[in-house]
Amino acid sequence: LSVPPEIPKEDGRPKWDNKFQYILSCIGFAVGLGNVWRFPYLCQIHGGGAFLIPYFIALLFEGIPLLHLELALGQCLRKGSIGAWNAISPYLGGVGVGSWMVSVLVSLYYNTVLTWVMWYFINSFQEPLPWSVCPLNENRTGLNEECYESTTVNYFWYRKTLNITPDVTESGTLQWWLILCLAACWAIVYLCTIRGIETTGKAIYVTAIFPYLVLTIFLIHGLTLPGATDGLAYLFTPNLNTLKNPRVWLDAATQIFFSLSLAFGGLIAFSSYNPQKNDCEKDAVTVAIVNSMTSLYASIPVFSVLGFKATTGYWDCLDRNIISIINEFDLPEESIMRQNYTAWISFLNSSYPEKIAGLKLKSCDLQEFLDQSVSGTGLAFIIFTQAIILMPGSQAWAILFFIMLFSLGLSSMFGNIEGVFTPLLELPMISKSIPKELLSGIICLICFLIALCFTLGSGSYWIDIFDSYAGSLPLLVIAFFEVIGVAYVYKIKRFSKDVKWMTGRKPNLYWQITWRFISPLLLLIVFVTFVTLQIQKPSSYAAWNPKHEGFPMKEEKVYPPWVLAICVLLAVLPCVFVPLVALFHLIKRMCRNKDPSFVPPAVFSCQGANS
Amino acid sequence: YAWDANEEYLFKAMVAFALRRYSSKSTTQISNVLLCNVTDRVSFWFVVTDSSKNVTTVPGSEVEAAIRMNRNRINSAFLLSDKTLQFLKITSTLSPPVEPSTPVWLIVFGVVLCLIVAGIFFLVVAGVQQRKKKNKQSTERENLEEKGEVAVTVENGIPCETLDLKAGHINGVFAADDERFTSL
């Protein structure tokens, strides 16, 4: 096995082996963990099938135009995010630096989520699964108290995996098992991105296609589980009344935006390795549609399994009530079944009301079980793991599920790391002296060392902070400036000519209108609404505190001021580069204006780059 | 299976057996065990009389201890478990879960890590070798250009001299047939 020598274009830039690799990389970047654990949750809480209406409207007017813009930009300018925006206009260089900064911040915490997935994966080889049994307490008289009060899966997640502290200010200690898994995860990322797209291009064949296989297997298995139809009906029954709530439209717009991984700089990096004569319009539409279809496709097995879990919980509740009634009234076994439970209850209530009241039966309601909606890590590590215990052959399902999550996250990590790697590779001082392997090694090592703070006891609280503040607001700002920059600084006429040169046809009216007016307006509205909603509710978090009275419910706590300062810093830091760089160039130009020998830089054009 | 008089007989026998093992006196008979208040639920009360001391019952704590000691045998006689055969006031002691000497996850982790390190090592070495080969080629070409002022002709990126000397076959049909060429 020898590595084939790269055949570079005239400018020495590496390129994709074939078009399919490029499309697969973009799809892998866009399709991530959010498609599995955020979209079904949003569908559920916002009225099921009715959520698809604002979702597709947002896709049409915000997602696809921005995606086309980024892909066309990267393809035309053949540079990473920093170089590309510097080429558009030096005043807009801050946009590129901002995207680079966001990619760095997101890479840090995203790989820690993959660490958790890996930890669950290597624990899935045991029989019985470690999250299905409670350990004993010290004197072996009963089960561990924390585990007994909450559930076994909660205990395994909060205690055995995270070893979580009750407060974000208490850092706790470094968890050595998480450090091992973190090192392994960063080693895998290094292995796959060691030479940039040469190596990720090979790895993406596996990591982008494998999740679809597993989703199909889960789909088929999930549909055969009892209670699956209840879950699916619950998910898809449209409730058009929810459309009156502006929160639904906001969630749809933000979901589309973050789901397509816009404004990270990774898409610009990917398309910069393309040949210039490539139909980026078709690529953009393909990637966006595949991403949305994957979200829909993934929500079916997720909700079948959730329906199964709710039904099993409901049956357990009924069975416990039935046992206590049978014990109390000394009735023969199997006289009360689930089917005639309600008839028996009404009969017994009318004849012996005091006895029934004395039993303190819990009211079992299937809707209540179905209503327990969770998104994010709770869905994967608590709800799904609980459902997996109930399935026969749980080890195999657990292993499949966690490998699927790992590949979904890994393909998104490739895009994040490319967004960091490509602009660095283009900096003149770095590209000459450092070989690619060393640069990617240095990036992975530095990220690993910084990410060690997420393996502390309070690590998961910090990841929530990073996710809500670094991975949300700055992206909106950067995307807004991207659209404004291309539409009004670079001018849409020039951009349309460039796109026509690349794809062979002029962008039609839809693109013109969305790029010029609709997308910037939509982004502005989303940004303002997002900020107002964030400011209105005081930022709080839910802490896991075993000593709390309401345990096993989580304790609502407020962030202390220094943590809030960090949140604001995370949100503002990438955005602040936009005005800073513009100011810097303005000052430089004012100094230069006094110099008579100054020649203004040549106007950049797409066609000019190739000659 | 249905609960009938035979099963009751087996139960009495098991209780007697448990008491015999516990107190190691072989005077307890099946007739000493008395069942009462048998319901359809299959629940009942039972007492054990002591035939040596007339018309007195064995204290409950002794019976409890005896049953606790032989719980396993009693359960398996009826093909039931601690959950399905319940003695009120006798809680079962929990057995500790089986813990292997090295945790399983560490073994799996070791396998995964070895694969990753092997992959990284292989890729880095291949990259270094490739880079060395490229450097050697470019220095060879530079040396050749320096020695003779003859321009090095390049065919598909390979200098022609190397093509002639090292690789390639000489096609005998074309090379040997000199008469075919028209003389100038």
Least reliable range by pLDDT among A135-144, B6-15, B21-30, B91-100: B91-100
Helix%, strand%, coil% for chain B, nearest 5: 50, 10, 40
What are the chain B neighbours of A147 within 8 Å (beta carbons)? Answer: none
ipTM over 0.85: no
Is pLDDT at A330 greater than 80 in this prediction?
Answer: no
Closest CA to A380 of A143, A557, A119, A66: A119
Token couple for A254: 């933000």
CA–CA distance, A72 with A607 (Å, rounded to integer): 13
The residue to which tokens 């990617």 are assigned = A440
pLDDT classification of A416: cutoffs 50, 70, 90: very high
Is the Cβ pair B131, A195 closer than 8 Å? no
> Judged by CB atoms within 8 Å, which residues 304-363 of A form the interface with B?
326-327, 330-333
pLDDT in tens, A472-486: 889 999 999 999 999
B29 or A436: which carries more pLDDT confidence? Answer: A436
The residues facing B155 across adjacent strands are B158
Closest chain A C-alpha to B64 CA, distance in angstroms: 17
Token couple for A407: 């590949």
Task: Round the average pLDDT of chain A to a whole number and report it.
Answer: 87
Closest chain A C-alpha to B183 CA, distance in angstroms: 43
Per-residue pLDDT, A113: 93
CA–CA distance, A201 with A23 (Å, rounded to integer): 10
Per-residue pLDDT, A353: 80
**Which chain B residue's Cα is nearest to A188?**
B116
What are the chain A neighbours of B84 within 8 Å (beta carbons)? Answer: none
CA–CA distance, A366 with A229 (Å, rounded to integer): 13
Please give the biggest Cα pair distance in chain B: 142
Least reliable range by pLDDT among A235-239, A526-530, A568-572, B174-178: B174-178
Can you give the pTM of this predicted structure?
0.83
Closest chain A C-alpha to B150 CA, distance in angstroms: 26
- The contact set of B with A (CB < 8 A) is 39-43, 93-94, 96-97, 104-105, 108-109, 112-113, 116-117, 119-120, 123-124, 126-127, 130-131, 134
Strands B158-159 and A555-558: unpaired
Side-chain half-sphere CA neighbours of A78 within 13 A: 23
Closest CA to A73 of A428, A513, A485: A485
pLDDT in tens, A184-211: 999 999 999 998 888 999 999 999 999 9
C-beta of residue A571 within 8 angstroms of C-beta of residue A94: no
Is the Cβ pair B109, A122 closer than 8 Å? yes
Sign of CA dihedral B160, B166, B172, B177: positive
Neighbours of A189 (CB within 10 A): 26
Per-residue pLDDT, A8: 41
pLDDT classification of A9: cutoffs 50, 70, 90: very low
Least reliable range by pLDDT among A377-386, A420-429, B59-68: B59-68
Is the Cβ pair A184, B124 closer than 8 Å? no
pLDDT in tens, A452-467: 999 998 999 999 888 8
pLDDT classification of A170: cutoffs 50, 70, 90: confident
Strands (E), B10-146: 33-36, 45-50, 56-57
Is the Cβ pair A122, B119 closer than 8 Å? no
Side-chain half-sphere CA neighbours of B18 within 13 A: 23
Is A351 assigned a ligand-binding role in the annotation? Answer: no
**Which chain B residue's Cα is nearest to A118?**
B109
What are the chain A neighbours of B94 within 8 Å (beta carbons)? Answer: 136, 140-143
Per-residue pLDDT, A117: 95
Interface test with A, best of B93, B109, B114 (most A CBs within 10 A): B109
Neighbours of A407 (CB within 10 A): 24
Is the Cβ pair B134, A2 closer than 8 Å? no
Neighbours of A585 (CB within 10 A): 18
Closest chain A C-alpha to B102 CA, distance in angstroms: 12
pLDDT in tens, A49-85: 889 999 999 999 999 999 999 999 999 999 889 999 9
- Say yes or no: A440 contacts chain B, CB-CB below 8 A: no
Per-residue pLDDT, A123: 92
> Judged by CB atoms within 8 Å, which residues 119-148 of A form the interface with B?
119, 122-123, 125-126, 133, 135-136, 140-143
CA–CA distance, A609 with A423 (Å, rounded to integer): 18
Least reliable range by pLDDT among A8-22, A352-366, A484-498, B149-163: B149-163
pLDDT classification of B109: cutoffs 50, 70, 90: very high
A7 or A516: which carries more pLDDT confidence? Answer: A516
CA–CA distance, A137 with A132 (Å, rounded to integer): 16
Per-residue pLDDT, A6: 45
Neighbours of B58 (CB within 10 A): 18
Is pLDDT at A372 greater than 50 in this prediction?
Answer: yes
CA–CA distance, A335 with A349 (Å, rounded to integer): 17
C-beta of residue A218 within 8 angstroms of C-beta of residue A391: no
Neighbours of B97 (CB within 10 A): 11
Classify burial at A5, counting beta carbons within 10 Å of its beta carbon; exposed 0-12, middle 13-18, buried 19 or more: exposed
What are the chain A neighbours of B97 within 8 Å (beta carbons)? Answer: 133, 135-136
Which strands form B56-57's sheet, in the order they lie side by side? B33-36, B45-50, B56-57
Per-residue pLDDT, B141: 81
Instruction: Supply angle C-alpha A481, A487, A491, rounded to 5.
Output: 130
First to last CA, chain A: 37
A47 or A27: which carries more pLDDT confidence? Answer: A27
